[in-house]
Amino acid sequence: MGGEPSGVAAGATLLDVRDVSLRFGGLRALSEVSFSVEKGELFSIIGPNGAGKTSLLNCISGRYSPSEGRIGFEGRDITRLKPNKRAAIGIGRTFQNLALFHHMSVLDNIMVGRHHLLKNNFLTGALYWIGGAQKEELEHRRKVEDVIDFLDIQHVRKATAGTLSYGLRKRVELARAVALEPKLILLDEPMAGMNLEEKEDMARYIVDLNEEWGMTIIMIEHDMGVVMDISHRVMVLDFGRRIAHGQPAEVLADPHVRKAYLGEEDVEDPFEQEAPAATPGAAVRQLSA
Amino acid sequence: MTSSLLIQLIINGLIIGTLYGVVGMCFVLIYKASQVVNFAQGEFLLIGAWACWWLLTYWQIPFFWGFLISIAFMMVFGLVLQMLVLRPLIGEPIISVIMVTIGLSIFFQALMKWMFGTFAQPFPPIFSVQRVEILGLQVQTAYLMSTAVSLAIMAGFAWFFKYSRIGLAMRATAYSQQVAQSLGISVRQMFALSWGISAAVSAVAGVVVGIVNGVSSALSYFGIKVFPAVILGGLDSIFGAVVGGLIIGVLENVAHYFDSQFLKWGNLYEIAPFYALILILMIKPYGLFGTRDIERV
Residue A202 resides in a domain: no
pLDDT at A92: 92
Nearest CB to A116 within list B171, B184, B193: B184
Q: What is the pTM of this model?
A: 0.80
Instruction: Tell me, yes or no, whether A177 and A188 share the same domain.
Output: no
Mean pLDDT in residue range B158-183: 87
> Rounded mean pLDDT of chain A?
81
Asked whether residue A120 carries a pLDDT value surpassing 70, the answer given is: no
pLDDT at B74: 94
* Residues of B whose CB is below 8 A from A84: 180-187
* Residues of A whose CB is below 8 A from B161: none
Mean pLDDT in residue range A188-194: 89
Instruction: Tell me, yes or no, whether A154 and A189 share the same domain.
Output: no
Binned at pLDDT 50, 70 and 90, residue A12 comes out as confident
Q: Does the CB of B177 have a partner CB in chain A at under 8 Å?
A: no
Say which residue, A25 or A38, is predicted with more confidence.
A38
Asked whether residue A206 carries a pLDDT value surpassing 80, the answer given is: yes
Asked whether residue B109 carries a pLDDT value surpassing 50, the answer given is: yes
Instruction: Tell me, yes or no, whether A26 and A37 share the same domain.
Output: yes
Residue A176's CB is within 10 A of a number of other CB atoms, namely: 29
Instruction: Tell me, yes or no, whether A264 and A177 share the same domain.
Output: no
Instruction: Tell me, yes or no, whether A46 and A57 share the same domain.
Output: yes
Instruction: Tell me, yes or no, whether A147 and A86 share the same domain.
Output: no
Structural domain of residue B238, as residue ranges? 2-283
Nearest CB to B168 within list A63, A83, A111: A111
Residue A236 resides in a domain: yes
pLDDT at A184: 94
The reply to whether residue B175 touches residue A101, judged by beta carbons under 8 angstroms, is: yes
Mean pLDDT in residue range A212-230: 91
* Residues of B whose CB is below 8 A from A82: 181, 186
Give pLDDT tens digits for B243-253.
Answer: 999 999 999 88
Asked whether residue A15 carries a pLDDT value surpassing 90, the answer given is: yes
Hey, what long-range contacts does A150-157 have (CB within 8 A, 24 or more apart)?
A150/A175, A150/A178, A150/A205, A150/A208, A150/A213, A151/A175, A151/A178, A151/A205, A153/A106, A156/A106, A157/A105, A157/A106, A157/A107
Residue B295 resides in a domain: no
Asked whether residue A268 carries a pLDDT value surpassing 70, the answer given is: no
For B175, the closest chain A residue by CA position comes to A101
Binned at pLDDT 50, 70 and 90, residue B91 comes out as confident
Asked whether residue A285 carries a pLDDT value surpassing 60, the answer given is: no
The reply to whether residue B184 touches residue A88, judged by beta carbons under 8 angstroms, is: yes
> Can you say how many angstroms the Cα of residue B64 is from the centroid of all Cα atoms in its chain?
21
Give pLDDT tens digits for B219-235.
Answer: 888 888 888 899 888 88
Structural domain of residue A33, as residue ranges? 17-90+182-196+216-279+285-289
Instruction: Tell me, yes or no, whether A228 and A257 share the same domain.
Output: yes
Most confident of A10-14, A212-216, B292-296: A212-216
What CATH number is attached to the domain comprising A225? 3.40.50.300
What CATH number is attached to the domain comprising B218? 1.10.3470
The reply to whether residue A93 touches residue B193, judged by beta carbons under 8 angstroms, is: no
> Rounded mean pLDDT of chain B?
86
- Tell me the nearest-neighbour CA distance from B165 into chain A, angstroms: 7
Listed in sequence order, the DSSP H helices in B164-292 are: 165-175, 177-182, 187-213, 221-233, 238-258, 268-283
Residue B7 resides in a domain: yes
Nearest CB to B165 within list A88, A97, A125: A125
The 3-state DSSP class for residue B43 equals helix
Instruction: Tell me, yes or no, whether A51 and A172 share the same domain.
Output: no
Binned at pLDDT 50, 70 and 90, residue B292 comes out as low
Mean pLDDT in residue range A81-106: 88
The reply to whether residue B165 touches residue A120, judged by beta carbons under 8 angstroms, is: yes
Number of separate domains in chain A: 2
- Tell me the nearest-neighbour CA distance from B147 into chain A, angstroms: 23
The reply to whether residue B182 touches residue A128, judged by beta carbons under 8 angstroms, is: no
Instruction: Tell me, yes or no, whether A47 and A73 share the same domain.
Output: yes
- Tell me the nearest-neighbour CA distance from A87 into chain B, angstroms: 5
Nearest CB to B184 within list A97, A111, A115: A115
pLDDT at A234: 93
The reply to whether residue B165 touches residue A103, judged by beta carbons under 8 angstroms, is: no
Number of separate domains in chain B: 1
**A interface residues, B as partner, C-beta within 8 Å:** 61-63, 82-85, 87-88, 92-93, 95, 97, 99, 101, 103-104, 108, 111-116, 118, 120, 122, 125, 128, 137, 176-177, 180
d(CA B169, CA A114): 10
